């Protein structure tokens, strides 16, 4: 793609990077076939190619974002299916991230939008605040569910009961037991630590069973606010996590870092890029990114024994977008489930997003629900009894309308190797 950026504008490293990305696009349109919003809406401006044109036009001239550009950028799920499809290696992830920051800086959203986005950014990355809001939401569910619009739709995403944190606490105690190698920092995350602390507990037990020494690390990685274009908050949260992890890396206390929420894993693995221009933080960010893996990647490396007895349960494996497109992790979760004795089915249209996408299901509920229902219809066709996935966002999204249990892959693996049966299967 030809670009005509003003040389002055190319002095900004983010603009320069985006210009390089734009120049790789050859307008072939292959990406449109796998873009969920184009598949649903059929509008070129809701395809990767259409968005790339809009972003080019906005960045090239340094223009403030317009309402039309914002509408199409907001509808992008950041699922990154287009990056998997693109034959020219267009790094759409960094381009849309830059565009979202530009939108936040130059566009004034309507008041309701501003309030909603500010509330999400003020609550979700902070487990104590989120736990309080969640408890209030569960108590008010009967009222919320009757409300029209977003509030009513958001009520469907609430868990039935207030999640307990006792399992996580027990696992934390276990994590501080006498040391064995390799030592693995396990990210507890923010939203997941409140909504489903059992996943972190299962991950710690499983790593222990696989011969590692897990060390629980709390703190938000910044991914959720990053998707909202709130760069300063993203950097502040990421810096705090990097400082904590790098101190342990320098002291030789950890050999690897593990994420069990693929949305977070994708973001942490990209820290090197995020902090590339900050000479002080760049080495620490790169060291953290280099050592970070999805838990399924590390479990395959550590090696879990093959279970001779089948578990007698058919599992439909839903590969989260951040897992398959963001981290290119495909075979490992499936292989681990099969090794643990589960029969695993693939889901048709597996490349399409389920509509979760960070806070997307709260901000774009109509599109998110259509994608969820399409995913659930494809899951139905597998005939599987259980759905497994590696991202808390997908679990919440699918669970809101799924007739079958939706669990994290590590919950099933933990159960197969001696942990408790997942709550959802009781
Ligand atoms: S990230 Fe997903 S929704 Fe956005 S343009 Fe690419 S394929 Fe489409
Ligand atoms: S597939 Fe790649 S090169 Fe082709 S239009 Fe999409 S982003 Fe551009």
In the three-class reduction of DSSP (H, G, I as helix; E, B as strand; rest coil), residue 181 is classed as coil
Residues 176, 223 within the same domain = yes
| Tally of CB atoms within 10 A around 317 | 23
Would residue 238 count as lying in a domain? Answer: yes
| Tally of CB atoms within 10 A around 252 | 8
pLDDT for res 146: 79
Residues 171, 140 within the same domain = no
> Is 50 exceeded by the pLDDT of residue 226?
yes
> Is 90 exceeded by the pLDDT of residue 159?
no
Residue nearest to atom 7 of ligand 1 (CA): 35
Would residue 261 count as lying in a domain? Answer: yes
Task: For residues 154-177, give the mean pLDDT.
Answer: 59
Residues 170, 295 within the same domain = yes
Residues 149, 229 within the same domain = no
Task: For residues 18-26, give the mean pLDDT.
Answer: 97
Residue 294 — left, alpha, or beta (φ > 0 → left; ψ -120 to 50 → alpha)? beta
What are the pLDDT digits (tens) for 291-327?
A: 999 999 999 999 988 888 899 999 999 999 999 999 9
Residues 311, 351 within the same domain = yes
Residues 247, 354 within the same domain = no
Q: Which ligand is nearest to the CA of 74?
A: 1
Q: What are phi and psi of 286, to 5 degrees?
A: -65, -40
What are the pLDDT digits (tens) for 399-420?
A: 999 999 999 999 999 999 999 9
What are the pLDDT digits (tens) for 134-146?
A: 999 988 888 888 7
Last residue of some domain: 244, 266, 299? 299
pLDDT for res 174: 46
pLDDT for res 142: 83
Task: For residues 355-363, give the mean pLDDT.
Answer: 95
Residues 287, 333 within the same domain = no
Task: For residues 332-356, give the mean pLDDT.
Answer: 97
Would residue 160 count as lying in a domain? Answer: no
Percent of the chain surpassing pLDDT 90: 86
Average pLDDT, the chain: 93
> Is 70 exceeded by the pLDDT of residue 171?
no
Last residue of some domain: 299, 320, 338? 299
Residues 72, 191 within the same domain = no
Would residue 2 count as lying in a domain? Answer: no
Residues 295, 315 within the same domain = no
> Is 50 exceeded by the pLDDT of residue 119?
yes
What are the pLDDT digits (tens) for 71-97?
A: 999 999 999 999 999 999 999 999 999
Q: Is 390 touching ligand 1 by the criterion CB < 6 Å?
A: no
In the three-class reduction of DSSP (H, G, I as helix; E, B as strand; rest coil), residue 13 is classed as helix
pLDDT for res 6: 86
Residues of the domain holding 411? 303-425
Would residue 1 count as lying in a domain? Answer: no
Residues 42, 137 within the same domain = no
Would residue 4 count as lying in a domain? Answer: no
Best residue among 48, 51, 85 to mutate for probing ligand 2's pocket (most ligand atoms within 8 Å of CB) is: 48
- This prediction's pTM: 0.93
Q: Which ligand is nearest to the CA of 97?
A: 1
Q: Which ligand is nearest to the CA of 85?
A: 2
Q: How confident is the model at residue 173 (pLDDT cuts 50, 70, 90)?
A: very low
Last residue of some domain: 97, 121, 155? 155
> Is 70 exceeded by the pLDDT of residue 104?
yes
* CATH code, domain with 385: 3.40.50.1860
Residues 98, 179 within the same domain = no
Burial of 403 (0-12, 13-18, 19+ CB in 10 A): exposed
| Nearest atom, ligand 2, residue 85 CA | 1
What are the pLDDT digits (tens) for 30-75?
A: 999 999 999 999 999 999 999 999 999 999 989 999 999 999 999 9
Going across the sheet that includes 406-408, the strands are 343-345, 314-318, 386-389, 406-408
* CATH code, domain with 199: 3.40.50
Would residue 339 count as lying in a domain? Answer: yes
* CATH code, domain with 32: 1.10.1060.10
> Is 80 exceeded by the pLDDT of residue 283?
yes
As a whole number of angstroms, the distance between CA 10 and CA 360 comes to 31
What are the pLDDT digits (tens) for 175-199?
A: 455 545 799 999 999 999 999 999 9
Going across the sheet that includes 256-259, the strands are 213-218, 183-189, 256-259, 292-294
Would residue 21 count as lying in a domain? Answer: yes
Q: Is 89 touching ligand 2 by the criterion CB < 6 Å?
A: no
Residues 102, 133 within the same domain = no
* Domain count for the chain: 4
| C-alpha 367 to ligand 1 mean position (Å) | 13
Q: How confident is the model at residue 16 (pLDDT cuts 50, 70, 90)?
A: very high
Q: Is 355 touching ligand 1 by the criterion CB < 6 Å?
A: no
């Amino acid at each position: 793609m030809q670009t005509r950026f003003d040389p002055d504008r190319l002095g900004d490293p983010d603009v320069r990077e985006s210009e390089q990305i734009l120049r790789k696009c050859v307008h072939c349109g292959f990406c449109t076939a796998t873009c969920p919003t184009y598949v649903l809406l059929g509008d070129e401006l809701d395809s990767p190619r259409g968005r790339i044109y809009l972003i080019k036009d906005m960045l090239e001239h340094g223009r403030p974002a317009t309402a039309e550009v914002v509408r199409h950028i907001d509808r992008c799920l950041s699922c990154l299916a287009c990056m998997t499809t693109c034959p020219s290696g267009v790094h759409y992830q960094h381009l849309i991230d830059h565009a979202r920051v530009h939108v936040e800086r130059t566009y004034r959203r309507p008041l309701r939008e501003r309030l909603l986005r500010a509330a999400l950014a003020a609550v979700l990355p902070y487990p104590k605040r989120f736990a309080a809001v969640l408890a209030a939401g569960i108590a008010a569910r009967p009222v919320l569910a009757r409300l029209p619009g977003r509030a009513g739709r958001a009520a469907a995403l609430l868990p039935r009961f207030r999640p307990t944190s006792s399992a996580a606490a027990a696992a934390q105690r276990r994590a501080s037991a006498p040391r064995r190698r390799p030592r693995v920092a396990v990210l507890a995350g923010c939203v997941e630590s409140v909504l489903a602390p059992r996943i972190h507990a299962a991950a710690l037990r499983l790593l222990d069973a696989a011969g590692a020494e897990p060390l629980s690390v709390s703190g938000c990685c910044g991914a959720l606010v990053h998707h909202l274009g709130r760069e300063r908050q993203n950097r502040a949260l990421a810096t705090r996590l990097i400082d904590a992890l790098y101190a342990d890396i320098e002291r030789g206390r950890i050999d690897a870092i593990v994420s069990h929420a693929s949305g977070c894993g994708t973001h942490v693995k990209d820290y090197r890029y995020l902090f590339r221009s900050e000479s002080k933080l760049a080495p620490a960010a790169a060291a953290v990114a280099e050592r970070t893996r999805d838990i399924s990647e590390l479990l395959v490396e550590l090696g879990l024994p093959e279970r001779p007895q089948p578990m007698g349960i058919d599992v439909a494996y839903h590969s989260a977008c951040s897992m398959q497109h963001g981290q290119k992790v495909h075979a490992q979760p499936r292989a681990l489930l099969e090794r643990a004795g589960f029969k695993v089915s693939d889901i048709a249209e597996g490349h399409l997003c389920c509509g979760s996408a960070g806070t997307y299901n709260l901000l774009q509920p109509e599109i998110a629900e259509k994608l969820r229902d399409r995913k659930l219809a494809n899951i139905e066709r597998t005939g599987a009894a259980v759905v497994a996935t590696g991202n808390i966002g997908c679990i919440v999204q699918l669970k809101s309308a799924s007739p079958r249990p939706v669990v994290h892959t590590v919950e099933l693996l933990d159960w197969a190797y001696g942990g408790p049966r997942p709550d959802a299967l009781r």
